[in-house]
Amino acid sequence: MAGSHHISRRDFIKITTAAVGTFIGAAIGLPSIAFLIDPALKAGKTDAWIPLGKLENFEVGKPTLATFTRSKANGWEKTVNSYGVFVLRKSDTETLVLSNRCTHLGCHVNWNADKQEYICPCHDAQFGINGEVLGGPPPRPLDRYSGDQLKVEDGTLLIHFLEG
Ligand code: FES
């Protein structure tokens, strides 16, 4: 009876070796697992500061299109999306940045210098120079970047972009 809980020296060595083996396996395995799930973690990150270019290069009074791309990882699948914003320097101290995405169904608007309007080619909507709706089906003005969504660093204009 007393011997039922007795662990022989040989068994003890076996158990200890198994435990050490498991520990080493875990130590080797952990970084590999972190590496495997890393793209998935990155996929959750959907905001960033996007540089649009040197502020001085945007002509005062003229909306200018700036484009950029964002890549998204979903597991191992990578997609690249293109975005555009219109930068309008109103003066040396005031800059307006508008999304070029129509608020109706998402087509890209174009700036029409003759009419001084943004025109959406999909359903003929018109937006004013500040993004307000002048005509057509859009339910609201063009999305704008203002306040703490805009900054200038070393002369470069950046927007705080949220990917939706
Ligand atoms: S998507 Fe622009 S008016 Fe419909």
Distance 137 CA to ligand 1 centre (A): 7
Q: pLDDT tens-digit profile of 32-83? A: 444 444 444 445 558 899 999 999 999 999 999 999 999 888 888 999 999 9
Residue 21 has pLDDT above 80, yes or no: no
Residue 109 has pLDDT above 80, yes or no: yes
Judge contact between 52 and 66, C-beta under 8 A. Answer: yes
pLDDT of residue 12: 57
d(C-alpha 116, C-alpha 126), whole Å: 10
* Nearest partner of 89 among 49, 54, 141, 126, judged by Cα: 54
d(C-alpha 84, C-alpha 105), whole Å: 15
Per-chain mean pLDDT for the chain:
83
Check if 142 has its Cβ closer than 6 Å to any atom of ligand 1. no
Atom of ligand 1 nearest to the CA of 102: 2
Judge contact between 127 and 144, C-beta under 8 A. Answer: no
pLDDT of residue 20: 55
